[in-house]
Structure 1
């Protein structure tokens, strides 16, 4: 059914790289959410009023929050599609993350409000009367919410949208909460035990848990979460396959929302190669990343001496030395300034965040071990940290 709806209402739906098509998906998902959630809210508020049930009313208000969330999703996609301007040179795509965060906060607020009301009803219980109509409405709403979750997930994956994936998780949670309410209603109807306040509390707690998880999920991109292993491995693999690239290091990736990926990396090239040839290679790699992957990549070129046997042998010794300290340490940009009385070894080492040694301590340990290799060796070391997951 979802495929049919997409085919009917999203023009050129197969062109997912087209920003206008992606906006059409967002508008379509927002409209579907507005219609279905409003229907659920009206149906459940009627059922809750008839049954005098705080649990059903809480579930209805949860759908009203989803209705508001769908409007926010619609506005979020519209705002995220605005082009870059002087105040926002990287575009507005992160507004989509902000809208997802707003949705998550609304979910938490609704959960807290109904937790308070449900506890009050436990302390001061009121008679409930679950009719066949109320039970039927809850059962149908479960089926509609399940379809809604699958719909959001499919469209979210197609468009790589954090907001829609958050909406899918919220809908999936609603399936659980409404099922809890339905079970409580059946128990109340057939046993006479009034579990309405308890069921309302359970619904409220589940809503708040969902909201908390979604806050973490939607705030990570805003805080600057590490890029995925898939993206990092693809970048490394694409670059290192090029003839004339010796090594890659110091990769950083900044996510400004869908379609707004900016990255920088250092590429080692043979120092003996014509600099214009290496520069042309770097330019071609940058153009390829933008045209084929949509990544704005900036490459810093590091010339490396490869035809000096003495330097290459010393580099191997230093790499082995670093491995004795920790296999997590990597080295790059190694060069040696040879002199008649002493030689300077200049290089960078990279360690992960949370490494067992502080930077100054690590530099001191490595320098001492290098000096022990040869008393005429002195190290000039720069410590870097991994900003991406290990390839």
Structure 2
């Protein structure tokens, strides 16, 4: 299954499962008079929205390069990932704010019913499966948007756990534990939002990826006939793919045509051996020149 099909399938599964949980939470909440479940249903509906945002970002990121965007649309996924981070931050803030009100006004603390507990277990089970699937798929196809959506789905596990803890704590005579746990969960969600936001911002700013990629590029060059000493390697991170510029050294006595062929073969080898690299531009320097001198020539 190719990248587009995997991404489309992942977002479709997320949207369907969240629609199911939204309806189920609200219906059960209304039937048993549980505000916690109704609120959870509304919260789960926000997951439907973020899954749609992830899908839009994923589809835009799939668009091929054009005249206005010669390097493609890959960073659209990182932008949609930041929108999802905004939703995460709002959810975290709302949980903390509600917990604060309950701590300041203990009369607001209520005990969810057994139906809420059953529904919480169902929600935890479904969200563990869906969030793990989204995060795994997002990493596999290098989709920042889908991976961020998976982390957002994971926050529903925390809120469902909070409902269960509230039930147990109330039955044990410690209802005050419910808002305390809720506040801790809200802080954890904000921490998750920060981590995902930082990663997506780094993608947009073009942060250099794992140094292992640089080593892989050098190994490919070393195995390419008549190409030597890959240096000045610059990697632009576009989320699902990379765009690379680098210099190599070639024999200074060969013709321009021969140097051009070596450059072309090197570019083909890099993209063939490292599929994550969508485009590569290789510049040839005469063999024997010092690296610093080579740079000075390039700048002229």
TM-score category of the 2 structures, normalised to the smaller one? 0.7 to 0.9
Between Structure 1 and Structure 2, which shows a larger proportion of strand residues? 1
CA 1:161–1:207 in 2, change beyond 3 Å: closer, same or farther?
Answer: same
Residue in structure 2 matched with residue 92 of structure 1 by the alignment:
73
1:71 aligned to which of 43, 52, 67: 52
- Other structure's SS at 1:264 match: strand
Q: Tell me, yes or no, if the aligned pair for 1:135 and 1:182 is still in contact at 8 Å.
A: yes
SS in 1 for 2:112: coil
Corresponding residue for 2:170? 188
3-state secondary structure, aligned to 2:284: strand
| Aligned residue number for residue 298 of structure 1 | 281
Output the aligned Cα RMSD: 2.7
1:17-96 equivalences in 2 (<5 Å): 22-45=3-26, 50=32, 52=34, 59-96=40-77
Question: SS of the residue aligned with 1:168?
Answer: helix
Alpha-carbon shift at residue 263 of structure 1 (Å): 1.2
**Deviations 1:350-376, CA, capped at 9 Å, x for gaps:** xxxxxxxxxxxxxxxxxxxxxxxxxxx
Q: Which has the higher contact order (CA 8 A, sep 6+)?
A: 2
Matches within 5 A, 1:242-391: 242-259=224-241, 261-292=242-273, 293=275, 294-305=277-288, 332-333=290-291, 346=293
Cα shift readout 1:233-289 (whole Å, capped 9, x = no counterpart): 111100012232231210001123424x32111111222344433332112112333
TM-score for both structures, normalised by structure 1 = 0.67
- Partners of 2:132 and 2:99 lie apart in 1 by 30
- Per-residue CA deviation, residues 158-192 of structure 1 (Å, 9 max, x unaligned), is 32212222223333343234223312221113426
Matched residue SS, 1:267: strand
Q: Does 1:112 align with 2:93?
A: yes
Question: Does the 8 Å CA contact 1:286/1:297 hold for their aligned counterparts?
Answer: yes
What is the aligned partner in structure 2 of residue 377 from structure 1? none
Q: Give the Cα separation in 1 of the matches to 2:138 and 2:204.
A: 18
Q: Name 2:144's counterpart in structure 1.
A: 162
- Please give the secondary structure, in 1, of the residue aligned with 2:108: coil
Gaps of 5+ in 1: 1-12, 17-21, 307-331, 335-345, 349-380, 385-391
| 2:156 corresponds to which of 174, 178, 189 | 174
**Residue of structure 1 in register with 2:114 after alignment:** 132
TM-score between the two structures when normalised by the length of structure 2: 0.86
**1:194 CA displacement:** 4.4
Q: How many residues align?
A: 294
| Cα 1:208–1:59 shift into 2, 3 Å | farther
Distance 1:279 1:88, change over 3 A: closer
Structure that is richer in helix per residue: 2
Structure 1 pair 30/179, CA: closer, same or farther in 2 (3 Å)?
Answer: same
- Cα gap change, 1:258/1:243 in structure 2, threshold over 3 Å: closer, same or farther? same
CA distance in 2 between counterparts of 1:305 and 1:229 reads: 26
1:198 is matched with 180
1:121 matched to which residue of 2? 102
> After the TM superposition, which residues 232-251 of structure 1 pair with which residues of structure 2 at under 5 Å, given as runs?
232-251=214-233
